[in-house]
Amino acid sequence: MSNNIIKHITLGGLDVSRIGLGAMSMSGYYNIGAGSDTESIRTIHRALELGVTHIDTAEIYGPFSNEELVGQAIKGRRDQVVIATKFGLVSHAGAGPGVIDSSPANIRVAVEGSLKRLGTDYIDLYYQHRVDPNTPIEDTVGVLADLVAEGKIRYIGLSEAGTETIRRAHTVHPIAALQTEYSLWSRDPEAELLPLLRELGIGFVPYSPLGHGFLTGEIKSPEQLSDDDWRKTNPRFTGENFQRNLRIVDEVKVVASQTGATLAQVALAWLLAQGDDIAPIPGTKRVARVEENTAADRVQLSTAQLERLNNLTPAAGERHDEGNMSVIDR
């Protein structure tokens, strides 16, 4: 099958299919229904077959096992894939996973581990996962620029960075992509972030473009979430907020039935309509869903439908719990 079925865009010079695949949920986090490594690998293979080139993972996913899984899946197919991975949420100086550390020494250790697990000698897009308040961004980007010069990484990305940090980082070395949450129910990037990225020529990678699955309409009650499901403590999935947010799903459903598309496809098509510098990375560990999500590339929303989606009922609840909110937008 042709490898160019999905439209491509560039993220600060890096060519990617404009719909990618987030691999995080292949290693836990969201636990509705069973998955398996076999199905996850089949999902990655199916994505590549459908023309997806952009696969997103991170050192902290698992931790470590998600990169290993992606590495296993892309074996023998390296040239078809743009691998994006992230460092900075594992401290290799002893503190371990969950500790923010973007010091140059930590990045040096992290990159070698990621390369090994991914089974490659270069990473296409290497992101800082969260800004480290203890390391000046100039020092972090400085070592990343060295890694570019050494051929270990091709492009540099930031995730959940604030606008000042992005400006400072970009003066040290061009930043290719900024990754943060953006979707029908998380519109914050529109105010300041997107205009800045456009000013600087930085691409935008929306994570959780399906609202962690909520916007697909498949999650109808908080009881569906097992105790170890990450969403169990997310304010939008808890208490009254959950019930209130179901209204958003109903509103998306109206547009979906008008277009003959699924809710997930409408959520993705709306994101794609926001600009040709935007490349969402919907996450799934299932073949059928990667087929569904990828087909959103061909869903056209009318001006009236886009307008309707622009005016959905705002989400009830912050997009992260307190702990996670405290480490974003710095």
Ligand X SMILES: NC(=O)c1ccc[n+]([C@@H]2O[C@H](COP(=O)([O-])OP(=O)(O)OC[C@H]3O[C@@H](n4cnc5c(N)ncnc54)[C@H](OP(=O)(O)O)[C@@H]3O)[C@@H](O)[C@H]2O)c1
Positions marked catalytic: 61
Instruction: Compute φ and ψ for 268, nearest 5 degrees.
Output: -75, -40
How far, in Å, CA of 155 to CA of 245, rounded?
37
Segment lying near ligand X (by CB under 6 A), choices 28-36, 75-83, 238-246, 297-305: 28-36
Alpha helices (H) along 50-128: 65-74, 104-118
Q: Which is nearer to ligand X, 22 or 51 (CB)?
A: 22
Q: Which is nearer to ligand X, 35 or 51 (CB)?
A: 35
Considering only 16, 17, 27, 30, the residue that binds ligand X (CB under 6 A) is 30
Considering only 18, 152, 236, 285, the residue that binds ligand X (CB under 6 A) is 285
The residue whose Cβ lies closest to ligand X is: 22
Considering only 286, 295, 305, 319, the residue that binds ligand X (CB under 6 A) is 286
Q: How far is the CB of 175 from ligand X (least distance, A)?
A: 14
How far, in Å, CA of 146 to CA of 108, rounded?
10
Closest CA to 208 of 241, 236, 228: 236
Q: Which is nearer to ligand X, 146 or 291 (CB)?
A: 291
Q: Positive or negative, the Cα torsion across 20, 21, 24, 29?
A: positive
| Residue 25 in the binding site for ligand X (CB under 6 A) | yes
What are the residues whose beta carbons fall under 8 Å from the beta carbon of 148, sequence distance 6 or more?
154, 155, 156, 173
Q: Which of residues 95-154 bind ligand X (CB under 6 A)?
A: none
How far, in Å, CA of 11 to CA of 278, rounded?
8
Tell the residue number behind the tokens 């989400």, with chain if given: 315
Q: Which of residues 206-225 bind ligand X (CB under 6 A)?
A: 207-213, 216, 218
Residues that bind ligand X (CB under 6 A): 22-25, 30, 33, 35, 56, 159-160, 179, 207-213, 216, 218, 264, 281-286, 289, 292-293
